[in-house]
Structure 1
Amino acid sequence: MLKKVIAILSLMFSTTALAEFSCEVEVNRVLVYANGSVNVLHSGRNEYTYICNLNTARQGVGITTCAMWTSMLQNIQKSYAKAIFYYPGSGDCSTLATYGSAPVPVYIGSIK
C-alpha cells in the first residue's frame, strides 16, 4: 500500500514539474537575420519570438533542426496553414517571452 501511495505522489509531483503548453497559431512572418537568428511573428503572441539560429546551436537546438523548422514555417506561412509550437514550463502564447528572451520550443509542427 505504501508503495502505491509513493508512486502516485511521485507521478503528481513529476507532472507538476514538467508543465508544458502549446500554441496553435497562424504564422505571419519568418525573419532570418544575417547572423543566422530566426525570429517568428505568429498570431498567438503578435511579437517576434527567437526560436533558433542557423549558424550555432541554441539551448540544444542544432543548426539542422533550425533549418528544418525555418523551412517548415515558411511553407506553413505560404500555405495559410497553422503551426503548433510546444514549449516546456508553464505559460501560454499570449505571455510568451519575446525576442532573445523567448524559450526554445520542444517541437514545431504543422496542423490544418
Structure 2
Amino acid sequence: MKLIILACFLVLSVTFSTSANAAFHCSADINRILIYGSGTVNIRHSGRNDFTVICDLNNEWKGVSVTTCAMWTAMLQNIKKNNGKAIFYYGGEGTCAALPTYGSTPAPVYIGDI
C-alpha cells in the first residue's frame, strides 16, 4: 500500500513540476517588422504567420524594458536583412502557431539570433 501511495505521489509531483515550468519556443524566419508611431513593435514571423507584439520602444511592456525592446528590434532587423532565423522563447504553455496576436501576445522571455 505504501508503494502505491509513493508511486501516486511521484506521478503527481512530476506532473505539477512539469506544468509549473512549462515553456515553448519558436525558431522562425522574420517576415515583417512594424514599428508604430506609439512605439509598439509588431512582428510577423514564420512560426505564427500573423502579427505579434513583442515590446514597446516608449514604455515598459509586460516586463520588457525600453532598452531591451530597442536591442531586440535592432537584432530582428539585422536577422531579417541577412535572411537569418530568430528564436522566440515564451514562458507558460502554448505553441508558436497558437500565439495570441497583436497586443494579446505574451511578452517573450528572450529573443535570439540562431
1:68 aligned partner, one-letter code:
M
Partner of residue 41, structure 1:
44
Q: Does 1:15 align with 2:18?
A: yes
State which structure, 1 or 2, has the greater radius of gyration over its C-alpha atoms. Answer: 2
2:38 aligned partner, one-letter code:
N
How far apart in 1 are the matches of 2:66 and 2:10? Answer: 39
RMSD, aligned α-carbons: 1.7
Unaligned runs of 5+ in 1: none
Unaligned runs of 5+ in 2: 1-6
Which residue of 97, 105, 108 maps to 1:105?
108
1:42-61 map, 5 Å: 42-61=45-64
What SS does structure 2 have at the residue aligned with 1:94?
A: coil
Moved over 3 A (4+): 5-12
Give the TM-score normalised by structure 2.
0.87
Partner of residue 82, structure 2:
79
What SS does structure 1 have at the residue aligned with 2:97?
A: helix
Could you tell me how far 1:7 is from its partner in structure 2? 9.0
How far apart in 2 are the matches of 1:23 and 1:106? Answer: 12
Give the TM-score normalised by structure 1.
0.88
Partner of residue 27, structure 2:
24
The count of residues paired between Structure 1 and Structure 2 equals: 108
